[in-house]
Structure formats: C-alpha cells, structure tokens
Structure 1
Amino acid sequence: MLKERQRSRATLLAIRAAWFVLALVAALYCVHRFEGPSPLETNLLALLPATEADPVAEKAVDRLADALGDRTVFLVSSRDADHAKAAAKRFGAALKNSGAFASVTAELPPFDVAQIGALYAPYRFGLLTRDDRDALTQPLDDALMQRIYNPVRGPLATQLADDPFGWLEHWLSDLPLATSGLDLEDNLLVAHRGDIASVLVVTTLHGSAYESATQRAVLAAAAQAEASVKAAWPDATVARAGAVFYAQAARSASEREVHLIGVVSACGIALLMLWVFRSPRLLLLGFLSTALGIVCALAFTMLVFGKLHLLTLVFGASLIGEAVDYSIQYFVVYLGAQRGWDARSGARSVRPALSVALATSLLGYAILAWVPFPALKQIACFAMAGIGVAFASVMSLLPALLVKGPKAARRRLFASAATLLARWRGAIGGKRAWLVAAVLVAIALPGWLRLTSDDDIHLLIQRDPSLVAQENEVRAAVGVDDTAQFFVVRGASEEAVLERAEALGARLDALTGDRSVDGWRSVTQFVPSAQRQAQARALFAQHVFADPAALRATLLHAGFRDEIADAWIASFGHANAAPLTVERWLAAPWSQPYRHLWIGAFDAAGQRGYAAIVMPRRVTPKNESALIETARAIEGVTFVDKAASVSKLFGAYRVDSGLWLGGALLLVLVLLMARYRPRGGIATTLPVLLAVGVTLAAFGYARVPLNLFNCLALMLVLGVGANYAVFLREGCLRSDADLGAVWAGVLLSAATTLLSFGLLGMSAMPALKSFGATLALGILVSVLLAPMSMPPERRNHA
C-alpha cells in the first residue's frame, strides 16, 4: 500500500515536472522571439494568398511593395509660400538629425544633369522620339532653324555642336524624370494648389517598414519635427504617406484589441467561473490550463511560420473562451462527484465527451488550414495547438493538481440548472425536436432567399481614415495616382520583353476617352528595344546621312563652321553601333527610382525568361476591361490587379466553403453516429445544423452580405457548437452524472466562448468582425438547441 502511494506520488510529481518544463520552454522561446526583431507581421500583403497563376506576377507585386515600402513622403503646406519652404527646410533638418531615416531629401542636392546626357550620347543615333521619327522624312532645314532659334531650353539641353537638330535633346526631354504637379523652386519641390503652397520631403528608412523598432523611431522623429515646425509657423501643416504609418497604425490597433479582448474576456470569464464554482482554486487551475494552451500555441506558431500575423494575435486573445471549456467540464464532474473524489476516475469519466468535442473542433480548424490564406493557416495552427494542449492539460495536469475532493458542492445551483434543463428539454426535445426543427427551417427559408455576397477585399481591410486622408492630400498635391494595377511583360530574352512592352505602350496610347490611362511608365521609355534603336539608325542613314555633301551644305548654310559640321557628320560612322542595354541603364546611379520597372531574369514553375513592369497612370472601372483586353492581345503580357485577384479568390473559396461545410457536417455526423448509433448521431448533429441555418437566415434578414470569413466562421460554429450537444449526450450516458451540473457547465462554456467571440465581433478589423459576429450568433443558437440531442429518457447506452 505504501509503495503504491509512493509510486502514485512519484507519478504526480513527474507529470507536474513535465508540464512545468513544457511551459518554461514555450515561455522562454516566446520571450526570446519578442526580445529580438519583432515577430509580428504588419504587412497587409502578407495576410493575402498568392493569387496569380503566374509566379512572376507575384514577384512583381513583391517588387513594387519593396520599392514603395521603404519610402515615406511628407508634404509641408501653408498659404504663405515662404513659410512652407522655410518650414519644409526645418522639418527636413529635424528628421535628418533624428537619425531615424537612412536619407532625408528636402532641399535637392546638386546634381549634374550632364550625367543623364552622358549615358545616352554614345547611342544618340539609335534614339528618336515618335515626333522626330515622323518628321525625319521632312526637309531638314526647318528642323535646323527651329533648333537654332528656339529660345526655350530645358535642363537637359545639349550642345548645339553635338546635337545640331536637337534629336537627342528631344529624347532626353521625353524621359519620364519629372514628377507631375511639382516645380523646382529654391532647390525645393513645390506644388501650388490655389493659394496653398506645398513642399515635398522624401525619406527612406533604415530597416523594414514593418519592424516595430523602425516604426517607433519614425513616429517619434516625425512628431518631434512637426512640433518644431508648428512652434515656428503655426499656419503650417504636415501630411504624411508611407507603408510605415499604416503598419504602425495596424499594429497599435491590434495591440489595443488584444488587450481589450484579452483583459475583458479574462475578467468576464473569471467572474462567471467564480460565481458558478465559488472556488478561486478552480479558477486558477482553469486559467492555468488555458494559459498553457495559449503560450504553447504562440510558441508553436512562431516556430512553424517564423512570423505572427496581427490577425492571429487578436484571434488568439479570443481563444481563451474556447480553451477554458475543457477545464470547465472537468470541474463540473469534480463538483458533481457524489462519493469520494478520484482525480483519475474523474478524468476518465470526462474523457469521451472531451475527446469527441476536441475531434469536432479540430475538424473545423483543420478545414481553415486547407485554405491558401497565410493568416487563416496561422489561425488554424494556433487554435489546434492551443486547444490540443488545453485538452492534454485537463487530462493529465489537472488530475495531478486536483487530488483532494471538493469542500462543498454547488447542489442548489445544479438543481436549478437541472430544473431549467428539464423544462427547456420538454419544450424543444424528444418528439418535439423535429417539429421545432421544421418551424425553424420555415422561418429561416425567406432569410436564405435574401442572402447576398460581397467579396471585395477592400471591405475586409480597415485603413486608418486619418492616414488615408493625408495620403490623398499628398497624391493630389504631387499629381501622381499610384495604383496597385499594372502589366507584367515576359519574354524569352531581354529584347523580347522590350519589344512587347513597346507594343503594349503603343496600344495604351491608342486608348481614348474614358478608356485612356493618361500615360504609363515602362523601362522602354529609358531603354528602347534593340530593334527600335536599329530602326532609328536606319532612318538616320536613309534620310539624314545618305548624302553627306548635302547635309554638310545644310549645316554650313545655317552658320556651322566647317570643322564642326565635318566632325558631326563623321560621328555617325564612329558612333557606337551596339544598342543601349538595360544593364547599362541600371548601372547609372540616377536610374535607382525607376529600377522596380525591370524584374529581370526569372526561373519559376519550370519556366525561364525575363520580365518587366508597365504601370498605367490611371486605372478606373471604366477602362479596366479595356486594359485586360489589351493585355490579352499581346503575347506574354498579363494585367495584374492584386485586389481584384484576391476578391475573385475570396468569391471562389466562399462558394467552395459551402461544399467544405457540407462535407464537414457529414464527417461530424458519421463520427457522432459511430459514437451514439445512427438515431443518436442524427439527434446530436441536429442542433448545430440548425444553428448554421439560423445564422445564415439572420444575415439574409439583416441584408448583411456574406463573405469568405462569414462562411469559414460557420466551420467553427460546427466545430465548437457541436460540443454542447456532445456534452449533454455524454452526460446522459454516465449513470452517476448530475445533468444539472452538466447543463450548468455547458451554459458556462457557452458563456465564456460567447464573451470572447462576442468581443471579437466588435473588432475594428472587418475580417475579424465578420468572423466573430458569425461565431457568436452560431454558438448562441447551438447552445440553446443543444437539449434536442438528449435521448428521450436517461439510459446507460445511447
């Protein structure tokens, strides 16, 4: 007997030690990850799936995101232009002194524009603008006179001796270097809108816009610089735009929600458990089990994925309400024990119910893991790990800690619960269950017929309204409409890509009226294809240099000296006959702001080649169809619209989710029929099936369009809501079970889950709001209909 006790004590100590080690390792790993670079992912694009069939298109999306992500733009404005300029200079100096930025550009540094001309000069006879190409067949005298007597010369003017007819100067002037809407005044980029003058200040970041350290440094520096400007010029205002500000706003909002949902739900659950159990010890043990699940889930998710999405973090805070369900059911058995308490026997008695409940919950989350959305995969991983650890802790750790029996049972509460259950079961259970089901279906049918859907991704991503307004102000002043829609041009060689991009540009220029794109950006505006350069050289040879004597006479008649005319004519034969290449252009330092237009070589999905980006200036619903048609008309060209692609994928998976839900219901039915026999399995599945139907009807009556997150939440309604019917059914199977205690535990479990998911429904993140509202409604209906699952009379078998 003594040896048995010693063995039992040693087993208990071993179990406690094993759980302590697991908790310590998980906690230390979490601390380690958060002490280094933040594992939180605030990049909204990272929440979305790879939607393009062509991986090169995804590479283009990433390239543009990287190109724009490390830049921030500030606009310092005032009704007094001198105030705006002085304020911008002070603002830029304050940002530079803060050390938070890799570079700050307010006053433009001296730049030798001759560097641009120097790149193109050796290739000048392969470069012709469209107008010059058309005019080359006309007499040269007019072009020469216009060049000589034209008093207006741009910053990229060429020497008359090197470019007598101005063809190279025209080419340089056509380069898309200038930013529309901005003028260079006092070495500042200034925009005038009515009586308001705005000065542009551009910065680049030291690190990623999605790192918390970078965000804190940038926000602090910007706030300090703005305060300095306001103190000197109260009439000056500062608008800002950049990914770092959206990332920081998203991080702050999610942290507020994590604290709100976590603290409020934890306090609410604590109060509920104290009221029901009247035992601080049980409360602490319940939260211990839940905390183990969440900490281990957090560590496991970061270990598997490396990063932790904000969506996952906020959802994790709501998992408290579900993870505590298992310990609640164990405590109900503990308090309802009528004879001496045996912790192991208590665990064995509750194991069937919790095992079935765990299986249904894991099934719901496993379906989320199949969806190709990184955020949903993480949520599924987090939830499965969390509830799995919570279940294991209830089965092994709680029995090792809850060795002594209860001091007092909650007989009065359980008796009241039993009376309530009996009355409610009499109203909706037994033979009346099918009548109740028929009435609910009849009521729900009109709601189902009114169901609509809206899969627009913009409805599911909440952006800070203040930042949106400031970004719009910056765009209006600068005159640039930076869109997320663009073309990807591919080819087997660099030359093929350039030729196709030129063909695309010609088709875009041909669009008129509402179909027009108001211009476009492409690497071909800087580097023509070798074919086009050869054509230009052939035109020069045919129309300009075919008769050197006549050309010389034209130049001499215009006043050029003999040696200058001879040198220029000879330069055609000596000029570099090899075409200008993309590599040569990329090597020029001034090409840096435009390098994202060239993707370069790729090797993806068994295909190799080269690719480039062509960005239309204006994309609207009126011209988008024309752009898609234009892309289809040219081989190797694809029109990419990330938002539309994700929205389309949302719609496809929303439709597919109906099939997944049907399949999951069938699996749950088979699982429950195997456990409770066919009639019992059907009765146990009926409440959650009706809950799904009533929830859908409610959305129809409320005219709330369905989206993917509503439909996926129904999977969890199935996984979580089925537990309540299972708990009651299992209670009926145990001869020594107190059904009042079981029902009290079911109501408490539902209340804690509703508290968590109800708060999730109040999230500022539209996706989580849809998710939480659907779960809360579905779970509420599930628990109300759960007594329908109980057999007509209590028996020791199903």
Structure 2
Amino acid sequence: MSKSLAWLWLVLVLAAVAHVGAVSWHGLPLQSDIMALLPREDGDDVIQRAKDRMLGALAERAVVLVGHGERGIARAQAEALGRRLAEAGVARPGVSVPTDAAIRRLGETYFPHRAGLLAEADRERLLAGDGAALATRALSQVYGFGGPADSRLLARDPFLLFPAFLSGVPLPGSRLAVDDGMLSTRDADGTTWVMVELSLADTPFALGLQRRLAAEIAAMRAAAPPDLRLLRLGTVFFAEAGARNGISEAAAIGAVSLAGVVVLVLLVFRSATPLLLTTAAIAVGLVTALSACLLLFGSLHVAAQLFGAGLIGVAVDYALHYFGQAFTQRRDPAERLAHVRPGLVLGLATSVLGYACLGLAPFPGLRQVAVFSGIGLAGAFLTVVLWFPLLDRLPPRALNPRVAGAVSGLWRLWAEDGHRRARLWLAAALLAVAALGTWRLEVDDDWRRQQRLPPDLVAEQAEAQRLIGFGRAHQFLVVEGGSEQQVLEREEELGRALGQRTGWLAVARFVPSAKRQAENARLVETALTAPHLESYRARIGLPAAPPEPPPPRPLEPADLSAAGGLPFLDLLVVDGLTHMVALDSGMDLEAVRNAAEGVPGVRFVDPTADMNGLLKTYRHRALALLALSAALSLPLLAWRYGWGGAVMVLAPAVVALTATPAILALFGMPFSFFGAMALVLVLSIATDYAIFCAEDRRRDPATLFAVFLATATTLLSFGLLALSSLAAVRAFGATMLVGVALAFILAPSVTRRRWNIPER
C-alpha cells in the first residue's frame, strides 16, 4: 500500500513539473504590482471605482524629459527616444500636444453652444448688472491691435464672449510650451528640456514591458551625446525598480538559504543520502506550490516568490525531524517514521492552519503566499512520509558529545528543579524586556513606508515636476448625482464654495450644466444684448445679423469627448452619475476638504489616508487571526494531550508572540500589519516545536537537536527576509527571526508535564 501511494505521489509530482514547465516555456508569468498586496476597501464601490480610474489613468502613462544645452540635440534625442520605444512595442507617443484637427473639432463643438457659455468673470459682471463693462471691453478689442475680432466672428458673437470663455477654460498649468510641435522648456542654467509623453503598450506592472522599457532607456543613455540627461516620471519606472529588486532579493535569499541548508545537512549527517532526500523534499514542495499558484491565480506575485524562498527553511523541517532519528538506535526507516509521524502530522496541521489564517487576509498577494507555503509544506510532508522510508539507507550514528551536552542542558533547564532559579531569571529578563519594549513600542500603518522608493527615481521625479511646473495631488473629490446634469450642477456649487481658489479641474468648468447654459443665455440677453447691442453696433458700424436658431440640445460632456483635444477631461468621468475633481498639489487641501463638506454629493478622497486606515483595521484583524488560529489548534492538541496539555503546548508560542514585538521595538522597529501577519506563522512554528518536544517523554537529545536544526533552517530562510530593502518584507522577516528563536528556547518547557500518550 505504501509503495502504491509513493508511486501515485510521484505521478502527481511529475504532472506538477510538466505543468510548470508548460506554463513557463515562454517565461514565468510574474506580477509586480505592489497594490496587489494591499487590501481593497470595504463597501463603497463608487469610491473604489474612482480610485481605480484615477490610479489606472496615471499608471498607464509615463513621461521622460530629455535635456541638453543645445536645443537641437535635445529635440533630436527626444524624437529618437519616442521612435525607439514605439518600434520596440513598449509605448506609443502620448497626446501632450493636441493636433490642429483636434483643436478645430473642439472649436466646432463649442461654437454652436456659445450663447450658454460664459467665462466666470463675465457671468459675475452680468449678474452685478455691469453689462456696460463687457461692451466697453469688446470695443477695445475691436479697435485694439492684435485683438481676436474679425467681421465674421463679430457678426455671430458681437461682444466676443466666446473667446473670453475659451481663455478662461482652466487648462492644466505648466511651464512647458509648444515649440515647433514639441512641449519643451528652458531651465535657468540654459538646458533645453523636451517632454516625451508615453502611453504604455501594456500594464506598467507587466515584467516584460518593464524590462524592455528599462533596456531601451539604458541603451539610449549609453549611446547618448555627452551631457544629455534623462528624467523619468511614472509608475512603470518605480514598478520596474521594485520588481527587479524583489526578484534579486528572492534569488539571493533562496540561494543563501539553500546553501545554508546544504552545508548544515552535510556537516551534521556527513552523508549524501540525507542531503539528496532533503533536497528532493524541498524541490517537490516548491514545484507543487508553484503549480498550485499558477492553476489558482494564473500568475505568481513577486512577493509570493520572495516569501516562497523562505519556504525552504520550513519545508526542510520534516526531513530533519525524520533524519534526526539517525542519532537514536532506530535502524529501520519504518520505525523512524513511526516515531516522528504523530508530531509531523500535528505540526503540518497547525502550520497549514496558520497559513490558512494568513490566506483569510484580504490581500491577493498574501493569499498567494498562503497557498504557496501551505501547498509547499504539504508537498514536502508527503515526500518525507511516502518516499523517505523507501529510499533511506542511513545507518544509526552517535550524536556529537558536545552537541548532546548542549541540547541536554536545555532539556534540564526546563525539566529539573535544580534550575528553578535560572528559569526565574530567564522569566524576569523576558518580562523586563517586554515591559521596556512595550513602553517604546510604536505602530506604523503608513503603507508608503512599507515599500522602498529608489532615491534616484525620487530625485528625478521631483526635478521633472519642477521643470513641468505642476503636479497633481493624490487627493481628489468625487461628485455624485442622480443624473449627469445634477453632477454638473453640484460641481458648479462646489466652484462657488471654493471661491477664488485655483488649481482644480472639474468637467463643469468645461461643460456647464444645462441649467447654467440656459441661465447664461437669458443673462446675456437681458443684461447685455437688450440694453447695449443696438448702440454697440452703431458705434462699430456692424449691420444687424439674422438670428441663428438655437442648438437642438445643450452642450454635454460626451460632445467634448467625441471631439478630442481635451483627453484629460475623459479621465474625470467615472460614469454618467459620478465625476472626479482633480486637485493641484499646491492647493490648501484641508481648506478644499472643508469647502466640499457643505456641498451635497461631494466627498473628499485621500487614497493614502484611506489605505493607512485600512492597514490599521487589518492589523487588528491579523491579531484576531492569531486568536482564531490558536482556537482552531486547541482541539487538535487536546485530542492528543488533553485540554490542560493543549494549553501547555500553546504556552511557549503565546510567550513568543507577546515578547517578539516588544523586543523588536527595542531596536527601533515599529509594529505593522506585516509584523502581525508574521506572528500568525510564528504561532504555527512555535506550536510545531512544542509538539515535538512534548512527543518525547524520554527527553532524547536527538529530538531537541532536530528541533534546533529546524530552527536554524527556518532562521536561514525567513530570518534572512529581515535583510530585505522592502520595509514590509523586513518587518515580516525580523518578526520571524525573533519569534522563532524564542520558540526554540521555550519549546522544551512543555516537558514539565507528563503526557498520557503511548511510548514508542
């Protein structure tokens, strides 16, 4: 029966290998979107769709500023860069400069509706009854030099209100100007900067696009004339740097972890058999985990790959517990397996429970980590249980006397009454450290500090924004209504609440509501045309023109969208019932928030603050997962040890969980959601160690030595994550490092109780 199951497991493993090979034939599908690691907001679909639209629109575009002291060189290199990226299939040119045809279509769309279009200053004058001022202004434009008036325009727009409206349209401010078809600016040091706006051919988190874009820009830099500078601005550049760093760290951590395991196994067992079989267990765990993730998710997140590198140190535990029996007198592989199998099963169950709780988090990236690790552990477990007894030829051997003395000393520390004072000192030290650390403990829920922004890119972005002359704030307003016309009316009410503040873009500033258009037409007729048109025509000698029929309907946002020329306007429309209002970074955002509070249907949205609040909420939920995981483990442990024994087995884990954040606080590391999630795994691993100690009634040094080896390999894997440059990963790794070390020290304390379990 066991051989049949071993063959069946081999078939399944080979199927997993074939699946991974087929999927990765043209490259492993990897994700690098850091936002996938973050939770989705609960409940408010409107706000979420607005955020997705705003962030998506920004992410799909990128900007490169090409600078040189010679204008011609800067322009030629900018053209070459745009052409090079387009030919490489990376990006197509953006729409920084509207074409003449787009501008003409825009004017043709606006002009028939000119009767209802008024600049805000003109409207205020008419409301104040000062139509004479507008008539006087029109006269000065007619007789002034270079004015916008010509006979055809005057015949249809005698007071030149339409040019005034167009000049008042709040186009995004910028230091850039159109120079022979290209947006450029000249800096104070004489450098000419030309902007190359790019529309990406794929999502900015596609690794293939990131690599091609980085390669093309690197090649451009290498072949560039002397003193040419490139400034990058866009999500894709940060995503590429993060993905490259994450993949590099995953490879380095995996290599160091694997090398450490190999060296450790060879030094301890001095035989190739444990090394080969342990490597097989690790490889099977990794390939089955990868296959499961690809089946369930279709791709693998870089974070799952990074955390999966730490799986090596956990998956090897089962092999080490098995081969640890070589230091006893058990020669028969079946007998060795029988001795450790109950502990392996309970350990796997509690570990998988921990990973399952990790998978309950609303983070798609962490769900992949949970699936990857849970399936990987199960794969390693089945390899040990089904294959090792058939392949194990390792003879018994003696444990090194010094090693045996050291681990026996740890047994005696917790088991013998003569070491009571030492135990009290250890407990007092842990309490003191916990108290001091708790006093210094700080919580960090700012997700911006959970990722690493490359300093060179941050500096380039700041300089690019200075040169361009404006920057969009991350915050924005959402305006909702029962119809699109009501949304426009509420945007107009928002404009009144904001007063004279500038730097905000709303659809209603380009397309007034139908109600406002009708009011404007009546206002022009009563306050300007009726009292002033006849005398005005007489003064300039303008003959009366036949009245034009009004347009069949008011101007609508869809009309401008169809005309083109204002592409940024489309980004502000979530749907017919929801618009966004973009804000410049230089605005007093708190004043904007206060002004918006009094306008029905308008909400101030701060994605960063919302995300920080969510991380706080989910940090609390992660701590609740700890309680859930412990509660689910208790019945399993009680089945083996009784309820009192189950509490004793969990006690070392509880102490480790309590002390770990406090110890890290002494080193200046704040507690975050990612540290809380690591504690879920610490609970599982600490319980695993306690189970193996509880299973050994004789306090055999070989048992505790196997636990030590498991601890060492776990620290070589998850502990190395503490060296990551990504704060979220670093917090996870540091928590695992301290928590697992404490778990090993405290695990033998369970031997203070005698268990009513069969002796083997």
CA contact (8 A) 2:60 2:204 kept: yes
Give the match for residue 781 of structure 1. 742
Give the match for residue 361 of structure 2. 371
Please tell me the residue identity of whatever aligns with 1:421.
V
Give the match for residue 197 of structure 2. 202
Given the alignment of the two structures, is residue 539 of structure 1 paired with residue 539 of structure 2, yes or no? Answer: no
* Distance (Å, rounded) in 2 between the aligned partners of 1:660 and 1:153: 71
Alignment deviations for residues 168-224 of structure 1 (CA, whole Å, 9 cap, x no partner): 111112223454111122322122331233111112222222222222322232233
Q: 1:648 to 1:154 in 2, by over 3 A?
A: farther
Q: How many residues align?
A: 750
Secondary structure, aligned partner of 2:92: strand
1:628 to 578, 593, 615: 593
Give the match for residue 52 of structure 2. 62
* Distance (Å, rounded) in 1 between the aligned partners of 2:260 and 2:659: 27
Q: 1:624 to 1:372 in 2, by over 3 A?
A: farther
CA contact (8 A) 1:332 1:745 kept: yes
* Distance (Å, rounded) in 1 between the aligned partners of 2:31 and 2:719: 25
Alignment deviations for residues 144-183 of structure 1 (CA, whole Å, 9 cap, x no partner): 2122134455899993433322211111122234541111
Matches within 5 A, 1:256-275: 256-275=248-267
Alignment deviations for residues 567-601 of structure 1 (CA, whole Å, 9 cap, x no partner): 4xx12xx1215210122122113233331111114
In the TM superposition, what is the alpha-carbon distance from 1:95 to its structure 2 partner? 3.8
Q: 1:359 to 1:99 in 2, by over 3 A?
A: closer
Give the match for residue 555 of structure 1. 537
In the TM superposition, what is the alpha-carbon distance from 1:769 to its structure 2 partner? 0.5
Q: 1:666 to 1:214 in 2, by over 3 A?
A: closer
* Distance (Å, rounded) in 2 between the aligned partners of 1:424 and 1:300: 40
* Distance (Å, rounded) in 2 between the aligned partners of 1:156 and 1:226: 50
Give the match for residue 715 of structure 1. 680
1:660 to 625, 637, 640: 625
* Distance (Å, rounded) in 2 between the aligned partners of 1:152 and 1:762: 66
Matches within 5 A, 1:87-486: 87-103=77-93, 110-111=100-101, 113-136=103-126, 137-138=129-130, 139=132, 140-151=134-145, 159-177=153-171, 179-195=173-189, 196-228=191-223, 230-231=224-225, 234-333=226-325, 335-336=326-327, 338-343=329-334, 345-402=335-392, 405-407=393-395, 409-413=396-400, 415-431=401-417, 432=420, 433=423, 436-486=426-476
Give the match for residue 723 of structure 2. 762
In the TM superposition, what is the alpha-carbon distance from 1:266 to its structure 2 partner? 0.4
* Distance (Å, rounded) in 2 between the aligned partners of 1:367 and 1:652: 16
Given the alignment of the two structures, is residue 596 of structure 1 paired with residue 590 of structure 2, yes or no? Answer: no
* Distance (Å, rounded) in 1 between the aligned partners of 2:150 and 2:670: 56
Give the match for residue 711 of structure 2. 750
Give the match for residue 607 of structure 1. none
In the TM superposition, what is the alpha-carbon distance from 1:793 to its structure 2 partner? 7.1
Given the alignment of the two structures, is residue 521 of structure 1 paired with residue 505 of structure 2, yes or no? Answer: yes
Secondary structure, aligned partner of 1:412: coil
In the TM superposition, what is the alpha-carbon distance from 1:436 to its structure 2 partner? 4.0
Give the match for residue 496 of structure 2. 506
CA contact (8 A) 1:77 1:197 kept: yes
* Distance (Å, rounded) in 2 between the aligned partners of 1:580 and 1:133: 18
Task: Note the residue ranges of structure 2 that are not aligned, 5 or more in a row.
Answer: none
In the TM superposition, what is the alpha-carbon distance from 1:722 to its structure 2 partner? 1.9
CA contact (8 A) 1:489 1:497 kept: yes
* Distance (Å, rounded) in 2 between the aligned partners of 1:94 and 1:350: 62
Secondary structure, aligned partner of 1:483: strand
Give the match for residue 586 of structure 1. 561
Given the alignment of the two structures, is residue 643 of structure 1 paired with residue 635 of structure 2, yes or no? Answer: no
* Distance (Å, rounded) in 2 between the aligned partners of 1:96 and 1:638: 40
1:614 to 559, 577, 581: 581
Q: 1:779 to 1:132 in 2, by over 3 A?
A: same
CA contact (8 A) 2:31 2:207 kept: no
Please tell me the residue identity of whatever aligns with 1:491.
G
In the TM superposition, what is the alpha-carbon distance from 1:430 to its structure 2 partner? 4.7
Alignment deviations for residues 657-711 of structure 1 (CA, whole Å, 9 cap, x no partner): 3343344445445543442234533432232222223212212322322111112
Please tell me the residue identity of whatever aligns with 1:168.
F
Please tell me the residue identity of whatever aligns with 1:472.
A
Q: 1:523 to 1:779 in 2, by over 3 A?
A: same
Alignment deviations for residues 51-81 of structure 1 (CA, whole Å, 9 cap, x no partner): 2531111111221232222222111113444
- Point out the more displaced range, 721-730 or 95-104: 95-104
Please tell me the residue identity of whatever aligns with 1:219.
A
CA contact (8 A) 2:141 2:149 kept: no
Secondary structure, aligned partner of 1:124: helix
- Point out the more displaced range, 720-729 or 417-426: 417-426
CA contact (8 A) 1:117 1:156 kept: no
* Distance (Å, rounded) in 1 between the aligned partners of 2:150 and 2:91: 31
* Distance (Å, rounded) in 2 between the aligned partners of 1:672 and 1:112: 72
Q: 1:34 to 1:148 in 2, by over 3 A?
A: farther
* Distance (Å, rounded) in 2 between the aligned partners of 1:441 and 1:612: 55
Please tell me the residue identity of whatever aligns with 1:593.
F
* Distance (Å, rounded) in 2 between the aligned partners of 1:449 and 1:270: 41
Given the alignment of the two structures, is residue 676 of structure 1 paired with residue 641 of structure 2, yes or no? Answer: yes
Secondary structure, aligned partner of 1:238: strand
* Distance (Å, rounded) in 2 between the aligned partners of 1:693 and 1:323: 25
In the TM superposition, what is the alpha-carbon distance from 1:473 to its structure 2 partner? 1.6
Alignment deviations for residues 73-127 of structure 1 (CA, whole Å, 9 cap, x no partner): 1111134444433443444444445443233679876556332211101100011
Please tell me the residue identity of whatever aligns with 1:444.
A
CA contact (8 A) 1:654 1:711 kept: yes
Secondary structure, aligned partner of 2:43: coil
Secondary structure, aligned partner of 1:180: coil
CA contact (8 A) 2:353 2:684 kept: yes
Q: 1:224 to 1:440 in 2, by over 3 A?
A: closer
1:77 to 52, 67, 76: 67
Secondary structure, aligned partner of 2:399: helix
In the TM superposition, what is the alpha-carbon distance from 1:27 to its structure 2 partner? 2.3
* Distance (Å, rounded) in 2 between the aligned partners of 1:728 and 1:762: 30
Q: 1:272 to 1:71 in 2, by over 3 A?
A: same
TM-score (ref. length: structure 2)? 0.92
In the TM superposition, what is the alpha-carbon distance from 1:340 to its structure 2 partner? 4.6
CA contact (8 A) 1:364 1:664 kept: yes
Given the alignment of the two structures, is residue 771 of structure 1 paired with residue 758 of structure 2, yes or no? Answer: no
TM-score (ref. length: structure 1)? 0.88
Q: 1:540 to 1:342 in 2, by over 3 A?
A: same
Please tell me the residue identity of whatever aligns with 2:654.
L
Q: 1:385 to 1:153 in 2, by over 3 A?
A: farther
Alignment deviations for residues 278-315 of structure 1 (CA, whole Å, 9 cap, x no partner): 22122111121122112111121222223322111100
Alignment deviations for residues 417-440 of structure 1 (CA, whole Å, 9 cap, x no partner): 432232223234455356743552
Percentage of identical aligned residues:
33
